[in-house]
Amino acid sequence: MSIRSMVVLWCSLIIVAWVQSAESWATEVNVYSARQEELIKPVLDRFSEQTGIRVNLITGNADELITRIASEGRNSPADLLITTDVGRLYRAKQQQLLQPLQSDFLNAQIPTHLRDEAGYWFGLTVRARPILYAVDRVDPTKLASLQDLTAAEWRGRICVRSSSHIYNQSLVASRLAHDGTEATEQWVRGVVANFARPPRGGDRDQIRALAAGVCDIAIANTYYLAGMMNDPRDQAAASQIKVLWPDQDSAGAHINISGAGLSAHAPNPQAGRQLLEFMLQAEAQQWYAEANHEYPVRTDVAYSETLQQFGSFKADTLPLERLGELNADALRLMDRARWR
């Protein structure tokens, strides 16, 4: 080997060693989070206490954060994207804003259907979207499945938010995955025919309308009801509502996730991985799930006392990747059915 070749090889080895050392010595990690600061910062502070790695947190609207990472491109400081609904994680993956992460720990703790098989995103909490009903006006034995919501008995009695929101798009996508286009379109049209009013507001607004007698049934995520149960301003309304778990004899209740993925151009990828694995430790899972009134991803971590009041349920185990794949089809179907 020539002296010049030896020098080139030696310099290459030095550069590789320096890059590896820089990653291992990372003292910070940058998090773009769609979760409100108070609902995530304590677990991030705990991570910093244990590792000495400072967490720089930027919070914002879920869709805007994805747009921001895309616009920043290779110069993005983001290491981790934490967001809500698998549809958004799938979108970030398709836009090549995430990179695959191989972690035996994450794969062991997170059920297969709650993570991307190639490691682009991982579930952090489970979010359930069942039927909520007014205890004094609805006989729950008449609602065994979501399909029952199309019955003429419920004409003018259902509240739900707009089709523009990704939670409903994912719900319809799950039905597309299970039942196909024709049956799902019939279901959507039947539900729309039973709306008590044109969709407006968020899930809490549907629950408040349910308590006020505007409707008798609502489709909403359980963490909204749980939050209202723990808020003195909404406890009276929440006390009039119960959760009904549909499709327990078939596919199971529709679920989604809050989750995270490692940014494609993460400047601190090792620290990002450490933080993601930290959030799947049992202690962090319990706090994070309770703070957000959501279900832990880990099956060995207990539900919060509030969620235990909703009872146990069979959850749909459809791979959540399918919800992202079918999102555009679901939205077009909802538009055809005039779910506004």
Looking at the structure, give the CATH architecture of the domain made up of residues 128-254+315-336: 3-Layer(aba) Sandwich (3.40)
Which residues, other chains included, contact 268 with Cβ-Cβ below 8 Å and sequence gap of 6+?
23, 26, 28, 29, 30, 79
Q: pLDDT, tens digit, for every residue of 155-174?
A: 999 999 999 999 999 999 99
Q: Flag residues of the chain having pLDDT under 50.
A: 1-25
Query: Can you give the pLDDT at residue 289?
Result: 87
Query: Can you give the pLDDT at residue 26?
Result: 59
Q: pLDDT, tens digit, for every residue of 76-112?
A: 999 999 999 999 999 999 999 999 999 999 999 999 9
Do 25-126+257-304 and 128-254+315-336 come out as alike in CATH topology? yes
Tallying the residues shown for the chain, one arrives at 340
Domain range summary for the chain, segments of one domain joined by +: 25-126+257-304, 128-254+315-336
CATH of 25-126+257-304, one of 3.40.190.10, 1.10.10.60, 3.30.365.10, 3.40.50.1360: 3.40.190.10
Alpha helices for the chain (secondary structure H): 3-24, 41-51, 62-72, 86-94, 104-109, 166-179, 181-193, 203-212, 222-229, 235-238, 269-278, 282-292, 305-308, 321-325, 327-336
Instruction: Single out the residue of 114, 135, 169 nearest to residue 331, CA to CA.
Output: 169
